Amino acid sequence: MATTATKRKLFESEKRLIMMIQINSDTTSELTDEVLVDFSADVTISPRHYTAPTSLKVDRIQIAGASGWQGRLEFDATTDVPFFTFDVGNSPIDFDFGEFGGIPDNKASGFTGDILLTTTGVTANESATIILHMSKR
């Protein structure tokens, strides 16, 4: 087996989406541009939306794990746009970006609305949980 990312939707409303991602590794393989949030599959468009959302804004990131690998979260585009880098060894991590309105997808050329993860330094038998709190835009 390799490093895997298992996704689970914890909550969704017209305006909000919360996803939990469990990262598990039994080898030293890395994740490269692993889709953590697939906008077209994970975001439900409500018939009550006056304008359908096209992207997400990250309001809060929570990470817990017992290992020392690093990760980079990116908005998917022709050239991916990094927006958060972390070290699982410093967990628990809890960043609330709500005080300044969150981190919006800047909708770079070729954007898809997806959120990606790339890891470095993963070793065997490591795990972490990432919880992403997002607003639909």
65-110 confidence digits (pLDDT tens): 877 889 999 999 999 999 999 998 887 999 999 889 999 998 999 9
Q: How far apart are CA 21 and CA 6, in angstroms?
A: 5
pLDDT at 50: 67
Distance of CA 35 to the CA centre of its chain: 8
- H/E element, 42: helix 39-42
**Rounded mean pLDDT of 38-53?**
81
Q: How far apart are CA 106 and CA 76, in angstroms?
A: 10
Residue 1 confidence (pLDDT) above 70: no
In order of start, what are the domains of the chain with their CATH numbers? Answer: 4-136 (2.60.120.1330)
C-alpha distance from residue 74 to each of 45, 78, 102, 105 (Å): 23, 12, 14, 9
Residue 47 confidence (pLDDT) above 80: no
pTM of the model: 0.92
